[in-house]
Amino acid sequence: MPSKFKFTELGALVDWPRPGTPKVSVLEPVTQRFIKGVARITGITFVPVYTAIIAQGSAKAQMKACEKVVGTDDPDLALYQSKSSEIAKERREIMSKLQAHDQASDPNWSVRGAMGFQAFDNFAIAGDELVELGIIGIYHYIIVQACAVFETLADDLLRATKEMHPQHATDLGNLSTPERIRTVFREVFSEEQINKAAADPAIDTITACRDVIVNNAGWVDDDFVERAKEIETLSHFKKDALFAPNGHALVGLVQPVVSTCTNLLAAVDTWLDTHKA
């Protein structure tokens, strides 16, 4: 039975097109900060994944160790206790050999992707409240981080533009809302591609999710219901319910934001390259 959390689908977030070296040097640190910000999103998905992989491997190694030391993979308690140190030593040796084998035989061992995500889905048993809340917490973190990536990139791009073109300076103020970010971008740039990227509705969608997570601990309120009623992927969430998207919905929220950020970075890079002082 597939997990209702659909953690497997988060593998889609791991493979994203990294931006290349920008045309203007002032955007090099901006690009690197953006890449690191997205890496925090993809990286957090691997924590439970590798926990699941290790748990599965450790459980199998424990059974093999018991069978080798005492002749059965399910010894009675007294027999297990009498041989526990030997069993633990054997288990560590088996785990070490398994890890060495995996690293030697699989060049992509550190990014197992679908196999690892499926391992976690197998451990995500519906009905265990603590497991469910933990997974939802991971999903909430990813949403908050995706918003932070966009806001940080927008601020960095505007400051880099100000550095190259002081005449375009404007009061950046608080860039914590999409509306404010778009207003400032329109004041600084007349380029259609730049403002089109900044106006992507995917930003409004994920911001609505971020706000209910940060401002109301993830519980759907009237503000979220009002903002989400025209958004197909969010309109089914009812007031006072816990905002708990599954992996499929989460990818649908985050991927467009990362793509928008990549497009925005490329558009500003092109503008700065063609408007060198």
List, for residues 178-189, the tens digit of each pLDDT value: 888 888 888 888
Give dist(CA 173, CA 169) in Å, integer. 12
Kindly state the percentage of the chain with pLDDT values over 70.
80
pLDDT of residue 162: 85
Model pTM?
Answer: 0.74
Each residue of 201-238: b (16+ CB within 10 Å) or e? Answer: ebbebbbbbbbbbeeeebebeeebbebbeeeeebeebe
Give dist(CA 102, CA 98) in Å, integer. 6
pLDDT of residue 102: 59
Cα–chain center distance at 34: 13
pLDDT, tens digit (0-9, with 9 covering 90-100), for 165-209:
777 666 666 677 888 888 888 888 877 888 888 889 999 999 999
pLDDT of residue 188: 82
- Where the chain has pLDDT below 70, the residues are 1-3, 48-56, 98-131, 168-174, 277
pLDDT of residue 109: 44
Give dist(CA 5, CA 158) in Å, integer. 38
Give dist(CA 172, CA 176) in Å, integer. 11
